[in-house]
Structures are given as C-alpha cells and as structure tokens.
Amino acid sequence: MSDLPAARLPNARWTHIALRVKDIEASLAWYLALTPLELLARRTDEFGYGAWIGMSDSPDRPFVLVLAQFFAETDPYDGATTATMSPFAHLGIELPERADVDAIASRGAALGCLAMPAIDMPPPVGYVCMLADPDGNNVEFSHDQGVYAAAQRVWGARRGGTA
C-alpha cells in the first residue's frame, strides 16, 4: 500500500461517518443527551429512517454522524452482518477539562452504558472513558488528547491561522 500515490482531490471534503441502528429514536435520544452533538436533519424514505447529527459550531466544515434504521422489507443490506464499533473502534469526543471526563463517566455508569471507566493512558491518548451507545458502539470522551490542538498547530499554521 505504501507504493500508492496520495489521492489529490482538492475539492473533496470529509463529511460523515454512518452507523446502522436498531432503533433510531433510542439512538437519537442517547446521542443528544450524552454528547455535544445536535440534530441537523431527519428523514424517512422507502428504505427507512435517517438522521444527521453534528456540531453546529463548524458549518463551513461540517462533519456529521449519520444514523440509519432500515425497514426489513426494503433493507438494501438484508442479511449482511451489522458492524459494531467496539472494543477499540470508537467515535472520539475531546472535552476541555479532566473533570468533564469524570462527569460523563459517572453519568454513563448511572445509565448502565459505561464501557470503560475513566483512565489515564500514555500520551497522546490522555485521560479517557468510553460509553456504549444503544447498539453497542463505543464513544470515547477524552481530555488532553491533543487532536484539536495538533490540527490547529499544524494545519492552522499552513493557512496562516493560529500556530
């Protein structure tokens, strides 16, 4: 794979990741209550229900989580295995304070969805915990992981932004 040339798609944008869910109402309620994600759009069509949730503070670079619940009679993936993001695969949300990780871990424990208690991990991972959504997908909440800071430092400097 290292012999492959890098793709050069200057107008491409990374816009979403999609998860198949069993109950869109339960999944929406979980994500809207336990994450900073907000509802952008909902739809129903002949294949099922869909919803886009994301961060409203970045409309110029939207990245959304697509939740899709398919109808049995029109499921285009009927018979396929449903993938679950676990035990390591996960969605990641960076929090500003260590206490925020403790708070979401406590809330997850109280709701019975704490998949991994808060723990200090070696750099660059930081202080993290994981909650499991209604379908068993893991969502990591971290502090001091540095993804946002690294993007600002490296990519922001390229565009003349903060360094």
Q: Which domains does the chain have, with CATH numbers?
A: 11-73 (3.10.180.10), 84-163 (3.30.720.110)
Query: What per-residue confidence (pLDDT) applies to 160?
Result: 67
CA distances from 50 to 2, 33, 88, 142 (A): 37, 18, 26, 28
- From residue 163, give the alpha-carbon distance in Å to each of 60, 97, 159, 160: 20, 22, 10, 8
Distance CA 16, CA 108 (A): 25
Positions in the chain whose pLDDT score sits under 70? 1, 160-163
pLDDT at site 120: 98
Distance CA 145, CA 44 (A): 37
pLDDT of residue 163: 47
Strand extents, DSSP E, 55-163: 64-70, 90-94, 114-121, 126-132, 138-143
d(CA 64, CA 50): 12
pLDDT at 162: 52
Closest CA to 20 of 74, 65, 68: 68
Report the alpha-carbon distance of residue 110 to residue 33 in Å, rounded.
13
The CA-CA-CA angle for residues 59, 61, 66, to 5°, reads: 85
Q: Which amino acid is at 161?
A: G
- Tell me, what's the pLDDT at 3? 83
